[in-house]
Amino acid sequence: MKKSRAVISLIVVILLLAGLGYTAIFGLGSDHSGSLNSIDLGLDLAGGVSITYEVGDNETPDAADMADTIYKLQQRVDQYSTEAQVYQEGLNRINIEIPGVTDANAILEDLGQPGNLYFIAQTDADGNENYALSMGGDETAGYSYGYQLNKSIEELEAAGAIVLKGEDVANAQAGYQNSGTAGNQEPVVELEFTKEGTTAFAEATTKAYAAGESIGIYYDGEFISVPTVQAAITDGRAVITGMSDFQDAENLAALIRIGGLKLALTELRSNVVGAQLGSNAIQSGLIAAAVGFVLIVIFLLVVYRILGLAASVALAFYVELMIILLDSFEVTLTLPGIAGIILTIGMAVDANVIVFSRIREEIARGKVVGEAMKMGYQKALSAILDGNITTIIAAVVLMIGGSGTIKGFAQTLVLGIIVSMFTALLVTRAVSAIFYGLGVHSEKAYGKAAEPKAFDFVGKRKLFYGISGAIIAIGVVVMIVNGARGAGSLNWSLDFVGGTSTSVTFDKEWTTAELDAQVVPKIKEVTGVDTVQVQTVSGTNQVIFKTASLDLSKREALNNMLESDFSVPSDNIAAETISSTISGEMLRAAIISVIVALVLMLIYIAIRFSNFTFGTAAIVALAHDAMMVVVCYALSRISAGGTFIACILTIIGYSINDTIVTFDRIRENLNAGVRNNDVAGIVNKSVAQTISRSLFTSLTTFFMVLCLVIFGVADIKLFAIPLMVGVIAGTYSSIFVASPLWTDLKLLRDKKGQAPAKQS
């Protein structure tokens, strides 16, 4: 590349970087909202309510009934938030998500009350009006008219003014009828009543027609239609006219049908998050990302010099692209999603480190810098692709089998991996070429790989196996002991055992003894539960109280007690209730997810490396890493919930990336004509050649996870600590376990494959 062309290219890169940054922060529109401010936030960040209902007793409801119920619930929740969503899950479940609301428990109470449908006579037996037309609004806003009850529903029932109820309606459908004008059809609502409803409606319409009165249809606290009776209706069929259009008729018919539905909505799961908790999570996540980014840039500049500068520029591109793509693809960002992004910032360096290590090796072999850069990218490509594809496999399994927040984590992980490969293989390469074109040709600016120090990794493998075995054994013993004393092998969260979890952020940090003496007795008093599990989060004022499932009234009583007795604002209280049905399903889905991910990885590695020996060794090493994470949960008693599975699968994906780089080097050395009878020597050499890359990549990822531990909110800390342990375990296994294990498997296979000696 000529110098003039390199200068122009550098200017283009700077302009692109600035342009993407401006788009990410300020946007291109007149409102200057920017992609960063436009990203959809999950309930755990925006605050709000989510609830899952199950319809009936494991029965499959009619599709029309489900659609009507969803429609009405959507009508209800729209009054709380324009971002509210109601959608069907499976055949008989309905999910509701209402972000950004404050009086969450009141909303849950409202949603939990089934709407009641009443047909009300206009006057009672004494001729007094039961409802009347009233005017609302003002001169500025405009006046509006609507019917209002003059008495309560209870009074109307006592007076016999309730003509029919919802269960007396057999069906309601929108349709058309001849309007009397030639060829004109008007939309109407056609009603059909039950046998009992037919008799009652005949009596009511006969009276109303004689008096020239109406019969009001009252649903969920308001009149939805007040038709004047135009004839006595005795055949059990009625028609409501006056619809503005067919859609209006369909909506009214749906409301009437819902009022008559006998579908029982059972609450399976609810989650209430205070807005302040979400705000704190976003702020702490941004701080963690910024600090981690700076640490990585410093590391890259110190270790890799001019290549590190190119990687830092590419990393900036990566962050800006991630922000823009999250907004463009409308990915809902959740708390685990923030962790996923921060984790991928650390992993984004991995491809660069693989390439840089290769470039330095080529320089050490006598190649000029330009040729070394070209060869480095060529030789690193297979390891980068294989490592990232296997990580994507784990993430895709999470997307398919995970719950809502875990899906968000998986989506950001997949997106981050794809973007990181793009920036590493294209952006870093382009920026490196620009610097080279500007005249940076000195080997000192790029570095030269030192001859790897000899170490007998294979010969000392039994020592490494023993260390791993001892740690896992300690964890298993602790799990058995905890299980035997009734505390549970792991500190399972509600995701797996069901119940109610109330997360409270106090104005000070409490000790467990103080909580047991002052707070727990009051929780038992207002909720009536016998047992309250307490979990404090070190370094924060947050405490998690776990109890048996609490109904809405008990959750409300608990919130009131915390506000009045301990001055806890409602925004600092988050509650989640999960039924045993949901928790059992999540446990099964979690086990299946891990098994599926391991099997798919085994198949992929076996195909790519042309035999199952590499795949088997990799899977055993991954099982080792997963067990190390489980041991961390067992010893620390960190709550093991949905993020527990996300953590294990993330470490599996991360660790396989590390292991494949080493395996790729072993395969390369085997194909380079090195004597196959010196398997141990080949493995020792390959591990030594890749050990710096393994350590450096793990260090950058560790920086990011450590920032999550230091700056993250409590829920992020509970996810990041096991993740940090997993990064260490994954690095250890890729160096000291996976490759020596492959050696044992290969020697065993070769031994079995040898033909027996012929007898003379």
Looking only at the bridges linking them, the beta strands covering 533-536 and 237-240 are unpaired
How much of the chain is helix, strand and coil, in % rounded to 5?
A: 60, 15, 25
The CATH number of whichever domain residue 232 belongs to comes to 3.30.1360.200
Q: Is the pLDDT of residue 758 over 50?
A: no
Pair 374, 232 in one domain: no
The CATH number of whichever domain residue 567 belongs to comes to 3.30.70.260
Q: What residues make up the domain containing 561?
A: 499-578
Q: Could you tell me the pTM of the whole model?
A: 0.68
Q: Is residue 6 part of a domain?
A: no
Q: What's the pLDDT score for residue 52?
A: 79
More reliable by pLDDT, 30 or 401: 401
Pair 546, 620 in one domain: no
Radius of gyration of the chain (CA): 33
Pair 386, 417 in one domain: yes
Q: What's the pLDDT score for residue 591?
A: 74
pLDDT digits (tens, 9 = 90+) for 141-196: 444 468 888 888 888 988 889 999 887 888 888 898 887 665 678 899 999 998 98
Q: Is residue 656 part of a domain?
A: yes
Q: Is the pLDDT of residue 739 over 90?
A: yes
pLDDT digits (tens, 9 = 90+) for 44-69: 677 777 787 887 665 677 777 787 77
Q: Is residue 480 part of a domain?
A: no
Number of other CB atoms surrounding residue 266 within 10 Å: 14
Last residue of a domain, one of 578, 611, 644: 578
Residue 640 and residue 29: Cα distance in Å, rounded? 43
Pair 532, 649 in one domain: no
Q: Is residue 90 part of a domain?
A: yes
Pair 183, 294 in one domain: no
Q: What's the pLDDT score for residue 676?
A: 56
Last residue of a domain, one of 241, 270, 299: 270
Q: What is the mean pLDDT of residues 102-121?
A: 69
Q: What's the pLDDT score for residue 140?
A: 54
Q: Is the pLDDT of residue 622 over 50?
A: yes
Pair 92, 127 in one domain: yes
Q: Is the pLDDT of residue 262 over 60?
A: no
Pair 318, 434 in one domain: yes
Pair 86, 111 in one domain: yes
Q: Is the pLDDT of residue 647 over 70?
A: yes
Q: What's the pLDDT score for residue 757?
A: 45
* Phi, psi at 124, each rounded to 5°: -90, -170
Lowest mean pLDDT among 9-18, 263-272, 436-445: 263-272
Q: What's the pLDDT score for residue 632?
A: 92
Last residue of a domain, one of 270, 292, 323: 270
Pair 287, 204 in one domain: no
pLDDT digits (tens, 9 = 90+) for 78-107: 767 777 788 787 778 888 888 776 666 666
Check: CB of residue 504 under 8 Å from CB of residue 567. no
Nearest to 127 by CA among 155, 161, 162: 161
Pair 227, 362 in one domain: no
Q: What is the mean pLDDT of residues 385-400?
A: 81
Q: Is residue 99 part of a domain?
A: yes
Q: Is residue 482 part of a domain?
A: no
How many structural domains are present in the chain?
3
More reliable by pLDDT, 428 or 642: 428
Q: Is residue 619 part of a domain?
A: yes
Q: What's the pLDDT score for residue 755?
A: 47
- Per-chain mean pLDDT for the chain: 82
Q: At what angle do helices 369-401 and 580-609 cross, to 10 degrees?
A: 150
Pair 294, 408 in one domain: yes
Q: Is residue 681 part of a domain?
A: yes
β-sheet bridge partners, residue 85: 97
pLDDT band at residue 244 under the 50/70/90 scheme = confident
